[in-house]
A and B are shown apart, each in its own frame.
Chain A
Amino acid sequence: MRQELIERRLPWLILTVGVYLVISVTSALGILNDYHMINIITIGISIILGVSLNLINGFTGQFSLGHAGFMAVGAYTGAILTMKFGFPFPATLLCGGLAAAVVGLVIGLPTLRLRGDYLAIATLGFGEILRVLFINWSYVGGAGGMVVTQRYTNFHWVYAMTVLTIIVIRNWLQSAHGRACVAIREDEIAASSMGINTTLYKVAAFILGSFFAGVAGVLYAHAYYIVTPASFGFLKSVEILIIVVLGGMGSISGSVLAAIAITLVSVIFTPWPYLRMILYSLALIIVMVYRPGGLMGVKEIQLPALSLKKKEGQQVGTP
Chain B
Amino acid sequence: MVEFFQQMINGISLGSIYALIALGYTMVYGIIRLINFAHGDIYMVGAFIGFFATTVLKLPFFPAFLMAMAGCAVLGMIIERIAYKPLRHAPTITLLITAIGVSFLLEYGMIWAMTPQPRAYPNLLPTYQFNFSGLIVSVQQLFILVVALVLMVLLHVLVQYTKAGKAMRAVSYDKEAAALMGINVDSVISYTFALGSALAGAAGLLVGVYYNRIDPLMGIMPGLKAFVAAVLGGIGIVPGAMVGGLLMGVAEALVSAFLSSTYRDAVAFAILIIILLIKPAGLLGKKTQEKV
A: residues with CB less than 8 A from B are 63, 110-111, 113-114, 116-118, 120-122, 124-126, 128-129, 132-133, 135-136, 189, 234, 238, 241, 245, 274-275, 277-278, 280-285, 288-289, 292
Contact = CB atoms under 8 A, between A and B. Distances in A.
B211 interface: no
A241 B104 CA distance: 13
27 contacts: A63-B93, A110-B273, A117-B92, A121-B227, A122-B273, A122-B276, A125-B228, A125-B269, A125-B270, A126-B273, A128-B224, A128-B265, A129-B266, A189-B292, A241-B97, A274-B108, A274-B112, A278-B109, A278-B112, A281-B104, A281-B108, A284-B98, A284-B104, A285-B101, A288-B95, A289-B86, A292-B87
A283 B105 CA distance: 10
Contact of B104 (A125, A275, A280): A280
Contacts of A288: 87, 90, 94-95, 97-98, 101
Task: Give the dominant DSSP class at B's interface.
Answer: helix
Contacts, number: 117
Contact of A121 (B35, B83, B91): B35
| Nearest 10 interchain pairs by C-beta | A284-B101, A125-B269, A281-B104, A277-B108, A132-B266, A281-B105, A285-B101, A288-B98, A281-B101, A116-B92
Contacts of A117: 34-35, 92-93, 96
B220 interface: yes
Interface residues of B, number: 46
A288 B82 CA distance: 12
B92 to A, nearest CB: 5
B97 A129 contact: no
Given A285-B98, A288-B87, A136 B262 contact: yes
Nearest to B103: A281
A114 B93 contact: no
Contacts of B86: 289
Given A136-B263, A288-B94, A124 B292 contact: no
A122 B277 CA distance: 10
Contacts of A116: 92-93, 96
A278 B269 contact: no
B280 interface: yes
Given A234-B220, A284-B97, A275 B270 contact: no
B262 A132 contact: yes
Nearest to B260: A136
Contact of A125 (B35, B220, B262, B273): B273
Contacts of A278: 104-105, 108-109, 112
Which among B227, B266, B292 has the highest number of chain A CB atoms within 10 Å?
Answer: B266
Nearest to B34: A117
A25 B263 CA distance: 50
B254 interface: no
B139 to A, nearest CB: 33
B153 interface: no
B264 to A, nearest CB: 9
Nearest to A286: B101
A285 B102 contact: yes
Given A274-B111, A278-B105, 14 more contacts: A111-B277, A117-B34, A118-B231, A124-B269, A129-B269, A132-B263, A136-B262, A277-B104, A281-B101, A284-B97, A284-B101, A285-B83, A288-B97, A292-B90
